[in-house]
Structure 1
C-alpha cells in the first residue's frame, strides 16, 4: 500500500510513538505529530529542518519493506548471502553473522540500474529487431504472392498455346502451384503470428518495467522476472524459395514440369539491431522496401468477364507520380470527385453547386445546382453517364440527366450519406437514422429497395453510429467497401452482406496520427484505396485487407477519391480545393 494514500491512523509519530502522524521532516525523513514538531527542531539546531504536511512529503523518500520474520520492523539492510532484506532485530541475531550486508538504498540503486539496462536493450535493440523481422516476413509474403502469381500466369500463357487435350494438365499444375503457395504462406503466417506474439510480450515487459521504475516500493523490484535471455534468442529466419516452371517439348502429357521447393528456416538468419532510429516513419529501409513492393492480385473484373476475359494484370509503381492538378475554385472546402469519363470529372464542395471539369484543360465545363438548394453530401456517376447526388437534409437521392434533376429515392426516418453505382446498375446508399443511433447500407434498383446490410452474424452493428463521414464503393469482386470515419476503419462485406474484414490502418503511420478514413474507391486489380486525412496519405490495400503501400504525392487533407478506366487516381484535396490526378499502376 502506498503510504501517501493509506490511512494516517496507521502511522504514528516517530518521537512520541502515540499520536497520529500529521507532519514530516523532509530533511531528517522523520514522521511527526504537530505537538512534537518543536521538540524535533530543538533536538538538532544544526540542520535546516523542512517541515511539510505528511501527504506532501518527498515522493522520492525510500520506502523499505517490512521484515517477514519480525512483523512491523522495517528492513533497512540487505543480506547479499541470503538474498533477503533484514531488519535491526535480524542483525542482532546470529542468523546473519559474518554475512555481507549492504544498505537498501545501495541494493535498490543496483537493481534499478540493471532494470534500466534491461529496458534499454528491450526498447532500443530487441523490440526494433522484432519489428524489422515482421517487416521482413511481410515483404516475403508479398514477394511470395507476386512470384506465385507470375508463375500461374506463365503456366496459363503456355497452356493457351495448346489445344483442349492439355487443359486438364494445366489445371492440375495450377492447383499444385496454389497448394504449394498456400502451404508456404501458412508457414509464414504462423511464423509471423509467433513473432507478433513475442513483440506483444516485449511491449508488456517494457510497460511492466516502467511501472516498477515509477514505484517507490523496493519489493516490486524483486518481482520482475529475468527474461532477456529468452528474447535475445531471435526466431529462426524463413527462407522463401520458389518452384521453377519448365516447358518440355515432349508428348502432350509431358509438356510441363513443376519442381517443388519447400520453405527453409535458418536459426541464425536474423541479427540484433543496435539502434532504434531506423524505426522512424519514412527512414527504415525495410519499411521502404515493403511499401514499394508491388503485389499482383489475380481477380476477375465483372465488366471484363462478360467478354470472356480478365483485366490485364498491373503492378504498383515504385513511386506514384502526379499527372495533373485542377483548381476547382470552391470557396473553403472540396469534398468529392467522380469520373464522368477519362477526360471529365464531377466535383462537389462547400456549396450547393456541383461542377464538371475538363481534366486535360482544367477548365470548368458545366455547373449544376441542387434542386433543394442544400449542399450535396456525395456524388457518383452511373454507367450511362448520369450524375447522382445525395441530399441529406432533404432525405433524397437524385439523378441529373440532360441537366434535369429527378428524385429517385426519398427516405423516411433516415438520412442518406454516400452513394455509389454498382456494375449491375444498382445504387448502394449508406444512411443513418434520425436519432443518430443506427447506420445501414441499402441496395436499390431504381427506387425499389432490394437489400439491407446493417448487422454481422452475431447481430452486432457493422458500422458506427452518429453523423460521421462514411463513403461507399463496390469492388470488382462485388464486395461492398465502406470507409467508416466513426469507427476509424474500412469495413468490407461480400455481396450477400457478410463481413469479410475490417482494415484499421497500417503501422507505422506516416505522421504517427490515428487512421482517419474519408473517400474510398477501387481499381481494376480489386485494390481498395482510401484517403487518410490525418496523415495526408492514401492507403492501398488488397481485396483481402492486406496493406500494400501509401500514396503521398504532397497531398493536402485528401478527402474524395475516384479512379478512371485506366486506373488513374483522382484525389479531391480538402485543404487547397484542388483535384490531383495520380498514376500509381504500371
Structure 2
C-alpha cells in the first residue's frame, strides 16, 4: 500500500540530519562537527578526506558541544585552549603570550568533555547511589515509625489491661471487706442484744423482789420478816464489746506503678543506621547496572539499525477467544498474550493459533506481563492481588497489594523487577517489586510534591531504565527515571490526547497509541516527537495495544480482534 503525502510528511518529524539539504533521520552524531547525521550522510562523512577521521557515534552517545566564550583580552577570538599550569581557559593568541610560555596547553573542548564526564559521573552517583541509599534510609525510618507506633500501642493496651485487672481485684477486695464488716456488725449486735435481754430479765427479777419485800415490810406481815431469809441475786456480768479496728491501706504511687508495670527508657545505646558503601552497592543495584550495561552493549551492536523511511506491514491475523485486543505482551518463547476489555486473556503462537485461554477480572488496560523466566503475571484490581502463572499452568497468589488496587503491570527485561501501576481513592502510584515479590520502591510525587499520576493505564520500561506510563485521565505519557525522578511528560500532538498501549524498542524509542487521533506516536527516549508511525490512513482501526518482539516486529492490537504486524526499523 502506497503512503499518503500526509504520512510521508509525518515521517519527517524526527531529529533532522544536519547535512545541507538533507531531511532524513539524524540518528548519528559527529563530535567534531557537532551535528546529527543520517546513515547516508554518515557514510559520506567517513569517506570525505576532510572529515574521514572525525569521531561519529550514535546520537545518544554524543559529546556536548563546548559553550562559546569570548576572550576578554581578544574579543574577536573564542576561548578554545586551556593552560594547565594557570588552570584557566585561553584563546589561541593568549596561549603564545609570554606569561604562558612553556606551559602545558590543552584543547579546552577535550578538558570540557572530561569535566562534563566527571560531573556526569557525579550526577550518576546521585541517581544510582545517594538518592536510592537515602530513600532506603527514609524507608527504614518509615518502618521504624510503624514499629514504634505498634509497640507503643501494645504497651498502652497492656497498661490498660493491668489497670483493669487491678480495678477488678480492688472491687473484689472492697466487696469482701464491706461484707466482712456486715458480718462482724451482725455478730456484735447479736451479742449486745443478748446482754440487753439478760438485763431486762434481771430488772424484772428486781421488780418482783421489790414487790415481795414491800409485802414483807407491811405491818400485817411483819412476822414474815422473821421467817424469810433476805438474798438478792447479784447483777449479771456481761462483757463489753471490743469493736474491730480498721487498718488503713498504706500504698504510694510507686506501689501502684509496681503493680501495674511501667514503660522504661531503654539503656541500650542506639545503633547507627547502616549506610551501604558506594563501592559495595546492593546486589539489586549491581544487577540493575550490569543489565543496563548489557542492554547498552546490545544496542551498540545494532548501531546500523535505524528508522526505516517507510512502515511495512508484514502480516495480520485474528486472535481467537477475544473480542478486541487491548494489550499484548510477548513471553520468553516468543509467543504472545493478548487480552480484551471483558477479561479474556489468551496465548497464541506468532501465527495466531490459540494455545491457552484463561478468564480474568481484567479490563481494557495493560494488566498482564510475561517474565524472563517464562511466567505470566497479571493483576486483579478488585481483589487487590497479583497472580503468577508458571509454564505448567499453575496459578498462585504472588503479591497482595493491601489497600491499593493494581491495574497495570510490566516485568523488566533489564533486571526482572516488576513495575505495577496502582490506585486508591483519588491517588495513583507506581510500585517496584523485586522478581521475588518484595516491595522495593514507590513512585507517586515529583520533587515539588505534586502528584505524578491520576490513573496509571499502561506501563513499560525503556532500555535506559526509564519508567514510561500512559495516564489516560491526565492525558499524558509520564516518564520518570529508575530512581523515580520526573524526566518529562508527553501530551500528544493535538488539542486532546488519549494515551493507551505503550511500548519501547531496542533503540530506546517510545511508541504510544493515541485513542483520540487513532495514531501510534513515535518518540525518542527524551520525549521528542519523531513521527506518527501509524494512523487510520494506513488501515489501522482505533489502536489500543502495542508491543515490539525480539525481532523488532511491531504488533498493534485494535478494537477488533485483529492484530497487525509491521516493520519500521532497518
The TM-score, its normalising length taken from structure 1, stands at 0.48
> Max radius of gyration: which structure?
2
What TM-score do the two structures reach when normalised by structure 2? Answer: 0.49
